[in-house]
Amino acid sequence: MQTTQNNNFSVTPKDFFFWAGAMVAFYATVIALVNLVFNYINYLFPNALNTYQVDPYQSGISSQMATIIIAVPVFVLLMRLIRGTIALDPTRQEIWVRRWAIVLTLFVSGAAMIVSLIVLLTTFLNGEELTARFLLKVLTMLIVAGSAFGYFFADIKGYWSKSPSCARNVGYAFSFVLALTVIAGFFIVGTPREARLARYDAQKVSDLQGIQWQIVSYYQQKEKLPKTLVELVDPISGTALSTDPQSKVEYEYAPKAGLSFELCANFNAESRKKMDGGEVARPMYSTMDMMKGDSADSWTHAAGRVCFERTIDPDRYPPLKK
């Protein structure tokens, strides 16, 4: 009789890997969820000092979405299998791997809530500004950690084993909320296709900035504007003719009266605009741009064919002395 009892309470390989897999999937989901929401917050409430956020998917959003999409079904499936095992053999509730997994999660989630509150209170007592960006991140941590704590606290009390239908409903609700979080990203930062088109547009702006500088250099050396962009090509200095990375055609260039000229390109979408006093995303700005008044704002564009007119100031960019 004693041997049977010991066997019932011993941890089988199935028990260990079920719980290990469930915890790995759970922690991967929570970490990805928190980072994903943080990226949404960073996108909607950007740091005023960060002016180079072009593609939000390059900040890890794509991997976080993929982690949630894969890890959530794995966690739900493994927990259902574990619940089924406990329903058939209630002694599975007493195995050490289950208690260690639950207690560890309670400790981590509780510590996360306490640390979040400490950071919030410290920031307030220091007299620092409680920005919407900061408060939303603290709220995110409290909600995620609090939900994890509540779920596993009920688990260690045996509530889900007594109410398997409720456990399934919580699992469905958990999956539904995470699915909404992932889908919301497409409305907040756009689809991956839109992000790819934005990268094309950013590269086009960068190319035009480079061509602009080459035209300035050409003028300083020859005291005239080039008639075509082909005249800028110089194998010795390594200057090549830039082409549209999307259509593979040459950019449009037209010299105007005096020292004015025009550069044109076709863009996929309008430039990302400012939101809540910060820059959500903007074209890459090269410090090599030396045109008078040139800045990232001077390269904002609409969708379709857009031309940028520039005029060289000979006082600011005098011809080079022979």
Judge whether 243 lies within some domain: yes
| DSSP 8-state assignment for residue 297 | G
Overall domain count for the chain? 2
Q: pLDDT digit string (tens) for 143-201?
A: 999 999 998 898 888 787 777 788 778 878 888 888 898 888 888 777 778 888 888 99
Q: pLDDT digit string (tens) for 226-279?
A: 999 998 888 887 778 888 999 899 999 999 988 999 999 999 988 765 434 333
Domain final residue, candidates 165, 190, 215:
190
Same structural domain, 71 and 159 = yes
Can you tell me whether residue 306 is helix, strand or coil? strand
Judge whether 321 lies within some domain: no
Range of the domain at 286: 193-311
Same structural domain, 240 and 142 = no
CB count in 10 Å sphere of residue 51: 14
Same structural domain, 170 and 277 = no
Asked if 211 contacts 119 with a C-beta cutoff of 8 angstroms, the reply is no
Judge whether 87 lies within some domain: yes
CA distances from 44 to 59, 120, 223 (A): 14, 21, 47
Judge whether 267 lies within some domain: yes
Tell me how far apart the alpha carbons of residues 126 and 59 are, in angstroms, rounded to a whole number: 30
